[in-house]
Structure 1
Amino acid sequence: MNLFQWLKPPKRNKAPDLTAEQKERLSNLPRAAALSADSLRAQRWVVMDLETSGLNMSRDEVLSIGAVVIEDGAIDLGQQFERTLLRPDHKLSPSVLIHGLGPSAIAAGSEPVEALLDFMDFVGDSPMLAFHAPFDQHMLGRALKESLGYKLQHPFLDVADIAPLLCPQACLRQAGLDDWTGFFGLHAEERHHASADALVTAELALILMSHARRQEMDSPLLLEQGLAKWRRRQQSHSF
């Protein structure tokens, strides 16, 4: 850092310009709940997936959000969420075309503030599941902070880690969603689409929860503790 950079005042993020109604909705969002010691079946889970304009976690943007709910030990197709977070003036980048978000999808896209408020209202106080969750958690958290001034505090569990924790016999290292769905014989109707990816991730999560129950990790809290121990073992083996 040179002298002039050191003398510059730190950049302050501009506060989001929200309407009175949006501020009220924001203030009424439920607080995130801690992971429960009750059974996995008793927990409402939100399984989510994001499509983004790229993989740069500080520069790229969320294009769309897809989510489905697991409740009472089953996928509740009556509780699904899908939004495109694009304005009509967005250019058609290659990533937009890959995700199938053509001109009609862009024209129907929701204004980011409203879409994110809708999503967090859908989530409620539930924990979230995602495949490669740290990426989705960071991108969603950044979008919420920039658009709403909202700090994401909901617990995220990573299905990409839960799978090898509970099924080491699969011998799948650094495996993707397609690898695990193939291992369990699941079939995704569509890929690179947030809603379809969220649904197949939910199907995979249900299978893994049955394995967790058999391995005496039958609560969100016990599963998270098992994941923490597994990650520590992975790190120790990497040295």
Structure 2
Amino acid sequence: MNMPWFRLRGPALDLDQLERRDQLLPPAALGTVPLREQRLVVLDVETSGLDLRKDIVLSIGAVVIAHGGIDLGDQFESTLLRPAQKISESVLIHGIAPSELEAGDDPVEALLDFMEFVGDSPILAFHAGFDQRMLTRALKQTLGYKLRHPFLDVAELAPMLCPDNRPRQNGLDDWCAHFGLQVMQRHHASADALATAELALILLSKAHRQGVDNLLTLSQRLANWRQRQQANFM
């Protein structure tokens, strides 16, 4: 059946892709499930640059924290998204050759695969605001899908939970070095997601020892911490 209005009103999705999109699970609210029982998706995206309006997602990698550990059997391997336009600068930023991008996955299929992997789980990332906004725009433009999943920022959790024992700088490399974590590769989505997950496990353990044992309490404490940080700069 020919239904040209699919293309006129939004992204060009076939019937199977539309059905997959419409069957994506809605996000679960942050609740009182104990942290050790909570499934968390730890995300990293590599992009063509840092401009939230113009740059695009080139690669997505994610791992899962569940049952108090990293489930290496449940991860989203770093996937290259084939861009609509040529991105020559990416080879300088991430070591991704333009030929690799041209041979990348169809963005529609890759993003559907990723959101099916996420399910209804909350998402963690380092400097989560950037990843969230880039992923939100990619999903809207490619799938016509509105991302509503809650994000927690590991770059905020770290100084909040370690106020008296922290590195001078607040980067992922700085925190990994601070806790003696070995990062095998950087600026690679899966490797960065794994490093972030290892750091997150340490922080969640610290949260538990500080009496924070679920995501609702953790997010409330984080909101209060943000307010205090803002007040200190006023």
TM superposition score category, shorter chain reference? over 0.9
For the pair 1:86 / 2:82, whether they are aligned, the reply is yes
For the pair 1:33 / 2:28, whether they are aligned, the reply is yes
| 1:65 alignment partner, SS class | strand
CA, structure 1 residues 171+199, in 2 after alignment: closer, same or farther (shift >3 Å)? Answer: closer
Q: Which residue of 2 is the match for residue 124 of structure 1? A: 119
Q: Which residue of 2 is the match for residue 152 of structure 1? A: 147
CA distance in 1, matches of 2:62, 2:198: 12
Q: Which residue of 2 is the match for residue 200 of structure 1? A: 195
Alignment of 1:47-58 (within 5 A): 47-58=42-53
Q: Which residue of 1 is the match for residue 96 of structure 2? A: 101
Instruction: Report Cα offsets for 1:23-53 as digits up to 9, x if no partner.
Output: 0000110111101211111100000000000
Q: Which residue of 1 is the match for residue 210 of structure 2? A: 215
CA distance in 1, matches of 2:55, 2:106: 17
CA distance in 2, matches of 1:149, 1:173: 41
The partner residue of 2:18 within 14, 23, 26 is 23
> How many matched pairs?
226
The partner residue of 2:171 within 171, 176, 180 is 176
Q: Which runs of 5+ in 2 are unaligned?
A: 1-7
Q: Report deviation, 1:14.
A: 5.5
CA, structure 1 residues 77+171, in 2 after alignment: closer, same or farther (shift >3 Å)? Answer: closer
For the pair 1:135 / 2:130, whether they are aligned, the reply is yes
Alignment of 1:216-235 (within 5 A): 216-235=211-230
CA distance in 2, matches of 1:165, 1:122: 29
| 1:41 alignment partner, SS class | helix
CA distance in 2, matches of 1:18, 1:68: 27
CA distance in 1, matches of 2:36, 2:43: 18
Q: Report deviation, 1:177.
A: 0.3
Amino acid at match of 1:57: L
Q: Report deviation, 1:86.
A: 1.7
CA distance in 1, matches of 2:81, 2:214: 34
Q: Report deviation, 1:92.
A: 4.7
| 1:126 alignment partner, SS class | coil
| 1:36 alignment partner, SS class | coil
CA, structure 1 residues 171+184, in 2 after alignment: closer, same or farther (shift >3 Å)? Answer: closer
The question of whether the paired residues in 2 share the 8 Å contact of 1:90 and 1:106 is answered with no
Q: Report deviation, 1:83.
A: 1.0
RMSD: 1.6
CA distance in 1, matches of 2:9, 2:186: 36
Worse-superposed segment, 60-69 or 76-85: 76-85
| 2:117 alignment partner, SS class | helix
Query: What TM-score does the superposition give when structure 2 sets the normalisation length?
Result: 0.92
Worse-superposed segment, 93-102 or 194-203: 93-102
Q: Which residue of 1 is the match for residue 108 of structure 2? A: 113
CA distance in 1, matches of 2:134, 2:111: 12
Q: Report deviation, 1:174.
A: 5.5
